[in-house]
Amino acid sequence: MGEVEQGIGADELQLATRNHGMPLEALRYDLTPAGLHYVLIHYDVPDAQPAWRLEVGGAVRSPLLLSLEDLRSRPRTTIPVTLECAGNGRALLEPRPISQPWLLEAVGTAEWTGTSLAGVLEEAGPTGGAVEVLFTGADRGIEGGEEQDYARSLPLAEALRPEVLLAYEMNGAPLPPQHGFPLRLVVPGWYGMAHVKWLRTLTVLTEPFEGYQQARGYRVRTEPDEPGEPVTRVLPRSLMIPPGIPDFMTRIRYVESGRVVLHGRAWSGLGAVTKVEVSWDGGWGWHEATLEAAVGAFAWRGWRFEWDAPQGEFELLCRATDESGAVQPLHPRWNVGGYRNNAVQRVRVVAR
Ligand SMILES: Nc1nc2c(c(=O)[nH]1)N[C@H]1C(S)=C(S)[C@@H](COP(=O)(O)O)O[C@H]1N2
Ligand SMILES: [Mo]
């Protein structure tokens, strides 16, 4: 990672120490233990209120007020979902967009348990003219000069997908505070910003939501003033467990020459991953890895490759292709917010 431009500011450092990534060696677990799953929180973890209820309102025939017990007594589903922050890879862009400075570790896979959002919406009964559902969290802050509750919307058709969950458990235990206790949204296939934590209200809207996190944040722009394209589904990515042992400061890896087993994971929100390839000559020659079964339809799949490492210094690359035909690029495409950088991982290795 020596390529990251020097001069991380105190503002970025504060964000980086609050929001931790998943150490890449945790790619070895099918399901990421909750404490190793990445965390991204724009403002503060809100205080959990004993009188908490989920309010369902807006353009609906029957507004609802649901306790956690009400939600727990509804039909229950568990789905493994790979969650990735849209800013993953941001700190590898040049110039570096100033925000949470992720390298490549803003990812994790958990088993989320909850009840289907569609069931709750059907009970409330959206009226004619409903176009979106707005999800508002209990956390509040100021961003881009606007004071706001963290809030994001989904088009009605996305909100009604059967796998979209109102989740109250992560890996079989109540949600930890940092992951949204008591309730969060899980939108399999979408980048992290859509999975609103500390859910307080669901509001059915007859006009598209224009709040900060929808209209200003999470837009891919090459110029600051353009409206940009909204960030939605996760682009394909593969990561490897850095092989061998690291140097403490530089993180350069040291392996014994000869047979080195490379192991990693790959995922995409656009469809199943169909291929993972490895390169050790800068991306000229690619060698196909063996794929393992996916952990779930919306979760990563393992891959492995036996590398016959000659002595020398190498940069190991891996890249995924998905069933939509999307392939990870060799080099990032820069944008103002530093979103969706799914350029290939590069791991420096010295084979002795
Ligand atoms: N209420 C609320 N929900 C939120 C956020 C937030 O700051 N507030 N961060 C979002 C972002 S940007 C990401 S990447 C994911 C991170 O989820 P995790 O911390 O459980 O990994 O939560 C999303 N949901
Ligand atoms: Mo994020």
| CA distance linking residue 17 with residue 154, whole number of Å | 30
| pLDDT at residue 284, rounded to an integer | 95
Residue nearest to atom 23 of ligand 1 (CA): 193
Q: Tokens 């530093």 appear where?
A: 338
- The ligand whose atoms approach the alpha carbon of 32 most closely is 1
- The ligand whose atoms approach the alpha carbon of 86 most closely is 2
Contact 79, 31 (CB under 8 A): no
Asked if domains 10-230 and 237-351 share a fold, the reply is no
**Paired sense of beta strands 173-174 and 345-351, if any:** unpaired
Distance 187 CA to ligand 2 centre (A): 13
Q: Where are the alpha helices (DSSP H) in 45-116?
A: 68-72
Distance 112 CA to ligand 1 centre (A): 15
| pLDDT at residue 1, rounded to an integer | 45
Distance 63 CA to ligand 1 centre (A): 26
| pLDDT at residue 7, rounded to an integer | 84
| pLDDT at residue 3, rounded to an integer | 54
Instruction: Outline where DSSP puts E strands in 171-243.
Output: 173-174, 184-186, 199-205, 219-220, 229-230, 237-240
Distance 40 CA to ligand 1 centre (A): 5
Q: Tokens 């993972």 appear where?
A: 276
Distance 86 CA to ligand 2 centre (A): 5
Residue-wise pLDDT tens digits, 231-262: 999 999 999 999 999 999 999 999 999 999 99
**Index of the ligand 1 atom closest to the CA of residue 170:** 20
| CA distance linking residue 48 with residue 198, whole number of Å | 8
On the question of pLDDT at 5 being above 70, the answer is no
**Index of the ligand 1 atom closest to the CA of residue 43:** 7
**Mean of pLDDT over the chain:** 97
Contact 111, 92 (CB under 8 A): no
Q: From 109, 149, 195, give the residue whose CB has the most ligand 1 atoms within 8 Å, as the site to mutate.
A: 195
Domain ranges of the chain: 10-230, 237-351
Contact 18, 33 (CB under 8 A): no
pTM: 0.97
Residue-wise pLDDT tens digits, 20-51: 999 999 999 999 999 999 999 999 999 989 99
Show the ligand 1 pocket: residues with CB < 6 angstroms: 37-42, 83, 85, 137, 139, 150, 179, 192-193, 195-198
Contacts of residue 225, Cβ cutoff 8 Å, sequence gap at least 6 = none
- Cα 69 to chain centroid distance, Å, stands at 28
Q: Provide mean pLDDT across the span 152-162.
A: 98
Distance 104 CA to ligand 2 centre (A): 12
Residue nearest to atom 21 of ligand 1 (CA): 39
Q: Provide mean pLDDT across the span 5-20.
A: 90
Residue-wise pLDDT tens digits, 121-134: 999 999 999 999 99
Distance 40 CA to ligand 2 centre (A): 6
- Side-chain half-sphere exposure of 114, counting CA atoms within 13 A: 31
On the question of pLDDT at 2 being above 70, the answer is no
Lowest mean pLDDT among 4-13, 108-117, 131-140: 4-13
> Options 3.30.70.60, 1.10.3720.10, 2.60.40.10, 2.60.40.650; which CATH number does 237-351 get?
2.60.40.650
| pLDDT at residue 4, rounded to an integer | 58
Q: Determine what percent of the chain is predicted with pLDDT higher than 90.
A: 97
Residue nearest to atom 24 of ligand 1 (CA): 196
Instruction: Classify domain 10-230 by CATH number.
Output: 3.90.420.10
Q: Provide mean pLDDT across the span 334-348.
A: 98
Contact 204, 126 (CB under 8 A): yes
